[in-house]
Amino acid sequence: MLTLPEPSVAPLRGGPGLRWGVLGPGGIAHDWVSTLHRNTDQRVIAVASRSMERSRAFADRHAIPHAFEGHEALLASADVDVVYVAAPHAQHRPLALAAIAAGKHVLIEKPMALDAIEAEQIAAAARAAGVFAMEAMWTRYLPQSDLIARLLADGALGDVRTVTADLGWRWEFATGDPRFDPMVGGGVMLDAGVYPLWFAHSILGSIDGVHAIGSIAPTTAEVEAVISLRSATGASASLTASATATTPGLAAVYGTTGSVLFDSSFVFPARLSVISDGREHEWVDDSGLAGRDGLAWQAAALAAYVAEGRMQSPLHSLDDSIAVLRVLDEVRRQIRSQAE
Whole-number pLDDT of residue 130? 97
Q: pTM here?
A: 0.96
60-91 tens-digit pLDDT: 999 999 999 999 999 999 999 999 999 999 99
| Angle, alpha carbons 38-41-42 (nearest 5°) | 90
Band (pLDDT 50/70/90 cuts) for residue 338 is confident
**How far apart, in whole angstroms, are the C-alpha atoms of residue 140 and residue 200?**
12
3-class secondary structure, 112: coil
Average pLDDT over residues 98-127: 98
- Start-end of H helices in the chain: 27-39, 52-62, 71-75, 92-101, 116-129, 143-154, 194-204, 296-307, 318-338
Q: What is the mean pLDDT of the chain?
A: 96
Residue 339 confidence (pLDDT) above 80: no
Domains of the chain: 19-138 (3.40.50.720), 139-338 (3.30.360.10)
Whole-number pLDDT of residue 59? 98
Residue 340 confidence (pLDDT) above 70: no
8-49 tens-digit pLDDT: 999 999 999 999 999 999 999 999 999 999 999 999 999 999
